[in-house]
Amino acid sequence: MRSKEELMAFCEGFVHDIPTEDRVGLDDWVTWGGYYINLFGANLSTNAKTDSDVWVDAYEDKEDMNKLGEPIHAWLIEGESK
């Protein structure tokens, strides 16, 4: 499994490639580096402060995705402030 720092850098790059105006409705699941990652925008996250913020929940990548449990890492990727 990759480090949390590598995970955060990957997610920052992933979000950076999404146009700012499209982030509000984001709801993507990605597997990377031993993680199963959910990235979601302000329409789905109470943690987002602006429409360009993206919340990340990262889980250990498991064969049975119905047993994910609580995320092992969670954080906000801040977009541009208004």
Q: Model-level pTM?
A: 0.90
Q: What is the pLDDT of residue 81?
A: 58
Looking at the predicted structure, is the pLDDT value of residue 8 above 80? yes
Residue 48 forms part of a structural domain: yes
DSSP H/E element including 14: helix 4-16
What amino acid occupies position 56?
Answer: V
Looking at the predicted structure, is the pLDDT value of residue 65 above 80? no
Count up the domains in the chain and report the number: 1
Residue 33 forms part of a structural domain: yes
42-79 burial, b at 16+ Cβ within 10 Å, e below that, comes to bebbeebeebbbbbbbbbeeeeeeeeeeebeeebebeb
Q: Give the pLDDT confidence of 25-58 residue by residue, as tens digits.
A: 999 999 999 999 999 999 999 999 999 999 999 9
Residue 82 forms part of a structural domain: no
Residue 66 forms part of a structural domain: yes
Residue 21's domain comprises 4-77
